[in-house]
Amino acid sequence: MPYIKKDRREVVEIMIQTPLPYVSSLTEGELNYMLTRIVDTWAKPLSYDRIAKATGVLENVKQEFYRRVAVPYEDKKLRENGDVYN
């Protein structure tokens, strides 16, 4: 998880405040495009090191999203609807 220092978090938050209110209206393709453009811009100038770091960050984001968002959601639905494996 990106537990960054508070002063850096404030800087990053300022950078994302303009587009953030519009993100929930994006299609999956548009979200993919936005994230791709961000990562592509960050990874330049391209090198094996930058590519490896970018793919690592994306994998960490995926795993943390699943752990913090998807698992609690699935647990809630399991309690509401019962276990499919029983």
* DSSP per position, 57-78: HHHHHHHHHIIIIIHHHHHHHH
Q: Residue 45 has what DSSP assignment?
A: S
pLDDT of residue 33: 94
Helical ranges in the chain per DSSP H: 6-16, 28-42, 48-65, 71-81
Q: Where are the domains of the chain?
A: 47-86
pLDDT at position 79 is 96
Residue entry with tokens 């752990």: 67
Residue 21: what residue type?
P
Read off the pTM.
Answer: 0.79
Mean pLDDT of 60-79: 97
Percentage of residues in the chain with pLDDT exceeding 90?
Answer: 70
